[in-house]
Amino acid sequence: MANTQLRYPFVKSLAILFLFFSIQVKAQKTMPGDVVIIASKILHENRTVYIHYPKPDSSDINKQFPVLYLMDGESHFDMLAQYADYLGRWDVKAIPQMIVVGITNTKRTRDLTPTVSIINYFGKPDTSATSWMKPSGGNEAFLQFIRDELIPYIDANYKTQSYRILAGHSFGGIASINCLLTQPDMFDAYIAISPSFWWDGEYVLKLADRTLQKGTVLNKTLFYSDASEGISDSSTFHTNLLRFDSLISVKKIKGLVHTYKYYPAETHMTEPVSAYYDALRFIFKDWKEN
């Protein structure tokens, strides 16, 4: 009996330890590539960046590649790197080979939201001291970090083309569209997966309505999508995406190549699996290898 009492707690502890370390391993970047720490003077902190790049081609050692900059790098970097590798593979050739740069978070709400707000997902003020919405409104500085520190670093250390894509999900989705509206020349294509248009009384949706006027010339590519949000709950995700799609269509922005895709069978967190794949196929739908 004494041996049994000792053994089972030990086995249970081993199981818990195994689960803990399994979770830790899964949370880490697993795709081959570089992990870089950038000491940002703009954000006053160190930022960890994952960089995945195509295997060297001995027949063209000077070959250059488009670059996809991905927000929420710790969540979606491996997936985008796998998509880029497979779709750009020699026997697939659906898209050009590309470099994927995953920007990991420190203070996600701060970096990915354009305004200071305490109004939550359901339109209620959250004034609690531990509110997940604090701090917020730092997207301008975050985009400045990408423009003035991250992009120059990538261009200086990797064989890059000038063609760049900005991709984000949820808060990253409104950050992507905010960049398109306020600094469109930073990127050539924008991906917004389930953009959180609800933020601060639909601030980005209203900004789009003011900024995108009929006759505006915007030679960019934009993919945007949503899933079952706002269908099975009381949020405005889906209705806001429909409003944005209608706004884009009515304004008839010259040069803007865009599409909206709805994934009714997916949730907010499963949608990126399908949407990022479809976004890459859409952006490069007319691409042909030279």
Taking only the tens place, the pLDDT of each residue in 252-262 is 999 999 999 99
What CATH number does the domain containing 133 carry? 3.40.50.1820
Average pLDDT across the chain, whole number: 89
The mean per-residue pLDDT over the stretch 127-138 comes to 88
Q: Are 67 and 165 in contact (CB under 8 A)?
A: yes
In a domain, residue 90? The reply is yes
CA angle 132, 133, 135 (to 5 degrees): 105
Residue 245: domain span = 34-283
In a domain, residue 210? The reply is yes
Q: Are 230 and 206 in contact (CB under 8 A)?
A: no
The mean per-residue pLDDT over the stretch 153-163 comes to 97
When mean pLDDT is compared across 17-31, 117-131, 138-152, the lowest value belongs to 17-31
In a domain, residue 8? The reply is no
CA distance 245 to 249: 6
Burial of 210 (0-12, 13-18, 19+ CB in 10 A): exposed
In a domain, residue 223? The reply is yes
CA distance 124 to 57: 54
More confident of the two residues 20 and 197: 197
The mean per-residue pLDDT over the stretch 180-207 comes to 97
pLDDT of res. 55: 85
In a domain, residue 11? The reply is no
More confident of the two residues 226 and 59: 226
CA distance 236 to 211: 22
Task: Name the pLDDT band for 178 (thresholds 50, 70, 90).
Answer: very high
pLDDT of res. 21: 38
In a domain, residue 67? The reply is yes
The tens digit of pLDDT for each residue in 22-44 reads 333 344 566 779 999 999 999 99
Instruction: Name the percent of the chain lying above pLDDT 90.
Output: 74
- Rounded (to 5) percent helix, strand, coil in the chain: 40, 20, 40
The mean per-residue pLDDT over the stretch 118-140 comes to 87
Q: Are 89 and 83 in contact (CB under 8 A)?
A: no
Q: Are 50 and 101 in contact (CB under 8 A)?
A: yes
The tens digit of pLDDT for each residue in 102-124 reads 999 999 999 999 999 988 887 88
Residue 276 has pLDDT above 60, yes or no: yes
Residue 192 has pLDDT above 90, yes or no: yes
Amino acid letter, residue 256: L
| Beta-sheet pairing, 99-103 with 160-169 | unpaired
In a domain, residue 3? The reply is no
Distances (CA, A) of 129 to 109, 126, 133, 135: 15, 9, 10, 11
Residue 10 has pLDDT above 80, yes or no: no
The tens digit of pLDDT for each residue in 44-92 reads 999 999 999 998 887 888 899 999 999 999 999 999 999 999 999 999 9
CA distance 285 to 283: 6
In a domain, residue 26? The reply is no
Domain count for the chain:
1
